[in-house]
Amino acid sequence: MEKILISACLLGLKCRYDGRDNLHALIESLKLKYTLIPICPEVEGGLTIPRIASEIVGTKVMNKIGEDNTDYFLKGAHIALQKAFDNGARIAVLKSKSPSCGIGQVYDGTFTNTLTQSDGFTVQILKNARIYVYTEHQIEELL
């Protein structure tokens, strides 16, 4: 089966900043067609569960109390890319709006629930390596 790199929270792992998951209703159907390779770039990069929410601010990622988490996010993004290469995954399904996993839209750095047009750090790196990225809202396209 073809391998897909997937945000671990979509598989039900409780790795979100608030210790919750984003289990997706179509995950079991996706498992029948693909081998799913879970990744949580923020945890892989060294951040804890739970952790203070972060948003992209310019070229950095800052948390809500003003700490610079850019290095954690960069490290996690590179680990995600390496995991895709190691497993021969050319497709990734990633959780929308996250500062790591968001595709096309992320929160704007003001912590006011406002979205802006941009990719998360992991998505930027995966796209540069020509990995095809999908949000969880596009899972039906893959089925």
Residues lying near ligand SF4 in the complex (CB under 6 A) are found at: 7-9, 15-16, 40-42, 95, 98, 100-101
For the CB of residue 88, give the shortest distance to ligand SF4 in the complex, in Å: 20
**How many residues would you count in the chain?**
143
Q: List CB contacts of 39: < 8 A, sequence separation 6 or more.
A: 5, 6, 7, 8, 79, 80, 83, 122
Question: Nearest approach, Cβ of 36 to ligand SF4 (angstroms)?
Answer: 12
- At its nearest, how many Å lie between ligand SF4 and the CB of residue 78? 14
117, 123, 125, 127: CA torsion to nearest 10:
-90
Looking at the Cβ atoms of 16 and 24, the one nearer to ligand SF4 is 16
